[in-house]
């Protein structure tokens, strides 16, 4: 989900290798690059520690859900020390768009089961004054890279980029976002969480969870977290994720689908 470049992927590899070593759980880091559907990854019975968007997690019944491990806490100001995130509404640097112009702009979206790339921008659009009955939209653009490419090529005027993905790019690939500017930021939502397959044993899940939640207290763990723009991992608040479907239904009622 956050493998935004080879350099950033290497930092995640380091985290998961450290997690395996500290927990005693043998973890194999596998590639699952776009356009491979994330839903296929989340269905794997051998899943050990994988990021999952909160919206698809919330739509599964408790018996169907993978087992939650931990949720990241970003160092960015928008996180306010909590395991939450948002989406930045971005446009090209040279585009003279203000927040007041967004109602008539051409929007891009990623995939329909994404909180950050689909529900968050629709929720924001629904609050705009004088918005038309239907937005001008393009999608699916799959991921933040697709949104960036669509803005660069002029296919869309604005799109939503996961604020944590934007933070990672600012830290490690600033040239990728240099042509962009943040026009607005959406309401926060629970951060995508690390999950394990529901078929994993309680011992494995407990070992992985314990190491993740204590990562900020370990010298090497703190160094790895800092390289990823994170302060810590926190215990996921499942009840917070369970509010996302109601938010999505309210958006559907106001806008319909894009």
- Asked if residue 252 has pLDDT above 90, the reply is yes
Tokens (6 digits) for 121? 């921008």
Q: Residue 78 carries which DSSP code?
A: G
What are the residue ranges spanned by the domains of the chain?
6-75+190-245, 84-188
- Asked if residue 41 has pLDDT above 90, the reply is yes
Tokens (6 digits) for 17? 């290798």
Burial of 200 (0-12, 13-18, 19+ CB in 10 A): buried
Average pLDDT, the chain: 95
Confidence (pLDDT) at 36: 86
User: What angle, 0 to 180 degrees and rounded to 10, lies between the N-to-C axes of helices 6-23 and 219-227?
Assistant: 160
CATH class for domain 6-75+190-245? Answer: alpha beta
pTM for the structure as a whole? 0.95
- Specify the CATH architecture of the domain 84-188: 3-Layer(aba) Sandwich (3.40)
pLDDT band, very low/low/confident/very high, at 96 (cuts 50, 70, 90): confident
pLDDT tens across 111-125, in order? 999 999 999 999 999
Tell me the mean pLDDT in the region 170-194. 97
Confidence (pLDDT) at 42: 94
Query: In percent, how much of the chain has pLDDT > 70?
Result: 100
Please state, as a whole number, how many other Cβ atoms lie within 10 Å of the Cβ of residue 26. Answer: 9
Closest CA to 237 of 186, 201, 187, 191: 191
Tell me the mean pLDDT in the region 173-189. 97
Burial of 76 (0-12, 13-18, 19+ CB in 10 A): middle
Confidence (pLDDT) at 242: 97
Tell me the mean pLDDT in the region 230-235. 98
Q: What totals of helices (H) and strands (E) does the chain contain, helices first?
A: 11, 11
The H-assigned helical ranges of 128-173 are 144-153, 163-172
Fold match between domain 6-75+190-245 and domain 84-188 = yes
Alpha carbon distance 182, 6 (integer Å) = 24
Q: Residue 175 carries which DSSP code?
A: H
- Asked if residue 100 has pLDDT above 90, the reply is no
Element (H, E) at 247: helix 244-255
Confidence (pLDDT) at 99: 85
- Asked if residue 98 has pLDDT above 90, the reply is no
pLDDT tens across 57-76, in order? 999 999 999 999 999 999 99
Contact (CB, 8 A) for 230 and 73:
yes
Confidence (pLDDT) at 31: 86
Contact (CB, 8 A) for 86 and 186:
yes
Burial of 123 (0-12, 13-18, 19+ CB in 10 A): buried
Beta bridge partners of residue 71, listed in sequence order: 234
């Amino acid at each position: 989900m956050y493998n935004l470049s080879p350099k950033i992927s290497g930092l995640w590899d380091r985290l998961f290798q450290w997690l395996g070593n500290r927990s005693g759980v043998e973890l194999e880091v596998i590639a699952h690059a776009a356009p491979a559907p994330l839903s296929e990854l989340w269905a794997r019975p051998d899943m050990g520690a994988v990021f999952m968007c909160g919206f698809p997690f919330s739509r599964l019944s408790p018996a169907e859900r993978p087992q939650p491990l931990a949720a990241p806490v970003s160092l960015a100001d928008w996180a306010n020390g909590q395991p939450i995130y948002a989406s930045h509404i971005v446009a090209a640097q040279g585009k003279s768009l203000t927040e007041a112009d967004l109602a008539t702009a051409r929007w891009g979206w990623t995939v329909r089961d994404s909180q950050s790339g689909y529900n968050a921008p629709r929720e924001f659009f629904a609050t705009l004054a004088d918005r038309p009955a239907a937005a001008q939209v393009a999608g699916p653009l799959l991921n933040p890279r697709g949104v960036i490419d669509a803005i660069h090529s002029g296919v869309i005027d604005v799109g939503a980029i996961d604020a944590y993905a934007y933070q990672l790019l600012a830290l490690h690939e600033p040239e990728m976002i240099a042509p962009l500017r943040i026009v607005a930021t959406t309401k926060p939502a629970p951060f995508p969480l690390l999950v394990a397959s529901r078929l994993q044993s309680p011992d494995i899940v407990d070992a992985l969870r314990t190491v993740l939640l204590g990562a900020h207290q370990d010298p090497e763990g703190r160094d790895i977290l800092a390289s990823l723009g994170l302060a810590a991992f926190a215990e996921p608040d499942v009840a917070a994720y369970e509010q996302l479907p109601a938010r999505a239904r309210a958006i559907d009622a106001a806008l319909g689908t894009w």
